């Protein structure tokens, strides 16, 4: 892999598809990462052991690897060494419970681009993922705009129908997920993992509550409930 641009191809709507390989053997964390990254617009593949991680990183095209160190069959450090020994420049973010200095030194010495320790906040990990994927020639957009809603990602300011809406951090995270996927149904679980992390209570009605908050601030018809599936940001207001 000579870089991320060669692997990025448009989907059916013309959007760039960015593929992330997740090497994680803890089922709950792997599921959380998959749902959260999907809500952020990425396509993911998950493997649960080091041998599979090394093989798939070699044989398939990915834009980034999120790598746990405590993998069965082959340790994450060995996976990283195999990837780098082949001369690949695939960005690698180590995500691990190993917080010791020696492990961090080994990780960076082995060629890791970043090192995140568990427990972690998803928003921080997402920011690190985007930083590693960023092409200097095509910077991350400063605004996301759908219809009359505009989200300023840098200033963290939202306007709807020309009015500024004050959003909490959770509300902003949900709004960002919706504006990155206009017209697409996002499941309750995707929204939970994106805004609340992997320690969320799956039986909670917190998503319903916060979608209600967003409707009050962005407009009552901005977010549509799709029964049995989730929620969708309307790309245009409904016909009167």
**Reported pTM:** 0.64
Per-residue confidence (pLDDT) for residue 135, from 0 to 100: 57
Q: Which two tokens stand for residue 198?
A: 């992997």
What are the two backbone dihedrals, phi and then psi, of residue 106, each rounded to the nearest 5 degrees? -60, -40
Looking at the domain that runs over 5-133, which CATH code has it been given?
3.40.50.2300
Give the whole-angstrom CA distance, residue 98 versus residue 137. 35
Per-residue confidence (pLDDT) for residue 231, from 0 to 100: 94
Looking at the domain that runs over 143-233, which CATH code has it been given?
1.10.10.10
* Cβ-proximal residues to 171 (8 Å cutoff; 6+ apart), any chain: 210, 213, 214, 217
Q: What residue spans in the chain does CATH classification 3.40.50.2300 cover?
A: 5-133
pLDDT tens for 186-204 read 888 888 877 776 666 667 7
Per-residue confidence (pLDDT) for residue 1, from 0 to 100: 34
pLDDT tens for 2-29 read 333 334 444 444 456 889 999 999 999 9
Q: What residue spans in the chain does CATH classification 1.10.10.10 cover?
A: 143-233
Element of type H or E holding 28: helix 27-39
pLDDT tens for 65-116 read 999 999 999 999 999 999 998 877 889 999 999 998 998 999 999 999 999 9
3-state per-residue secondary structure call for the chain: CCCCHHHCEECCCCCEECEEEEECCCHHHHHHHHHHHHHCCCEEEEECCHHHHHHHHHHCCCCEEEECCCCCCCCHHHHHHHHHHCCCCCCEEEEECCCCHHHHHHHHHCCCCEEEECCCCHHHHHHHHHHHHCECCECCCCEEEECCEEEECCCCEEEECCEEECCCHHHHHHHHHHHCCCCCEECHHHHHHHHHCCCCCCCCCHHHHHHHHHHHHHCCCCEEEECCCEEEECCCCCCC
- Residue 66: name the closest of 119, 30, 97, 110 by CA: 30
Average pLDDT score, the chain: 85
């Amino acid at each position: 892999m000579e870089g991320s641009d060669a692997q990025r191809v448009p989907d059916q709507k013309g959007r760039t598809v960015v593929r992330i390989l997740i090497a994680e053997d803890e089922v709950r964390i792997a599921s959380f990462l998959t749902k959260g990254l999907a809500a952020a617009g990425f396509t993911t593949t998950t493997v649960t052991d080091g041998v599979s991680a090394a093989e798939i990183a070699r044989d398939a095209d990915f834009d980034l690897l999120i790598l746990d160190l405590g993998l069965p069959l082959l340790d994450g450090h060995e996976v990283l060494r195999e990837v780098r020994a082949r001369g690949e420049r695939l960005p690698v973010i180590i995500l691990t419970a190993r917080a010791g200095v020696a492990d961090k030194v080994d990780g960076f010495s082995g060629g890791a681009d970043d090192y995140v320790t568990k427990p972690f906040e998803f928003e921080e990990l997402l920011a690190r993922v985007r930083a590693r994927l960023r092409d200097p020639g095509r910077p991350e957009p400063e605004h996301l705009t759908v219809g009359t809603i505009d989200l300023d990602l840098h200033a963290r300011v939202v306007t709807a129908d020309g009015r500024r809406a004050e959003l909490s951090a959770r509300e902003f995270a949900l709004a960002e997920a919706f504006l990155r996927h206009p017209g697409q149904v996002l499941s309750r679980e995707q929204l939970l993992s994106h805004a609340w992390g992997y320690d969320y209570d799956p039986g909670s009605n917190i998503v319903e509550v916060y979608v209600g908050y967003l409707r009050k601030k962005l407009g009552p018809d901005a977010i549509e409930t799709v029964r049995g599936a989730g929620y969708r940001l309307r790309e245009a207001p409904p016909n009167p």
